[in-house]
Amino acid sequence: MKKMFGVINAMTTPFKEDGSIDVESLKKQVDFQIEHGTNCLYPLGTTGEMYLLSVEERKLVAETVVKHANGRAIVYIHVGAMTTKDACELAAHAEKIGADGIGAVTPSFFGANERALLQYYKDISASVSRDFPIYLYSIPQCSGNDILPEVAEKIAKACPNVIGIKYSYPDMVRILNYININNGDFSVLVGPDRLFYAGLCSGAEGTVSGCAGPVPEVFTAIYKAWKEGKHDECRKLQKKANEVISIIKAGADMGIFKDVLKRRGVVANGLMRRPLVEIEKSEGDEIWKALQPYLEK
């Protein structure tokens, strides 16, 4: 099983003017990330506007990313959905097309207790091969449901192909508790980009980063320095990354990611799918100007 590690880009989903998936811009995103040293690609998550896409659109995005990456980066497909049926269908599809693994966010909106969470992940696990890896995904501030460490451990014991978790709430104590699951044999990825270096120091294996979409070079530099044992440099680079995160508002408005990608020549436009809206030009101009010192020319 291939794990996710390092800088994992939570990719945006580009659209054409008619609202359909912009496959060519999606391919350019794949190339842009790989050229800047991104280790893994993670399409169709929160940053990818997952719940605003149809199942068929999600399959198209997954197929495009897997095929175009062509082994140049690890590709995990996010398959979490509003219904277990859709999540299982997307999981089976991801395995069929040759993805390296999948991630699945908790059920959303409706409250899910421990028994419901366990059943949800058992169903997804059963829809793929026993050796096809799955990451849990907890983002309670958006989904309304959380996966406590003791529940994550129960899920991992019940589902041998559940190998880790992406945790997107800024709680280092919780991250440490996840890291200790299964006697430390549990892959933990941080969602908050500001915790990338701290997470690595604590035993996490990487960050699933939306902010690395428009400005990957800042985050891949941290991981490179980390691998080389240059901790003083890591601290300086994390400070630099935190400045970038503040400029692009930490993903609070994902339209910023697309606008910067457009200005960098990666995607054709900054279109969002309704009810999400694009940022205003004046805001984009201000952000673009502030980012200049941080971009590789």
**Structural domains of the chain in order of their starting residue, each with its CATH number:** 6-294 (3.20.20.70)
Q: Please, what is the angle between helix 149-158 and helix 114-126, to 10°?
A: 30
220 assigned ligand-binding residue: no
Q: Is the pLDDT of residue 220 over 70?
A: yes
What residue has token string 């945006």?
Answer: 12
The average pLDDT across 37-44 equals: 99
CA neighbours closer than 13 Å in the CB half-sphere of residue 204: 32
207 assigned ligand-binding residue: no
> Sorting pLDDT into bands at 50, 70 and 90, what band is 297?
low
What percentage of the chain exceeds 70 in pLDDT? 100
What pTM does this model have? Answer: 0.97
CA neighbours closer than 13 Å in the CB half-sphere of residue 88: 12
Q: Give the active site residues.
A: 137, 166
CA neighbours closer than 13 Å in the CB half-sphere of residue 229: 0
Report pLDDT digits (tens) over 101-124: 999 999 999 999 999 999 999 999
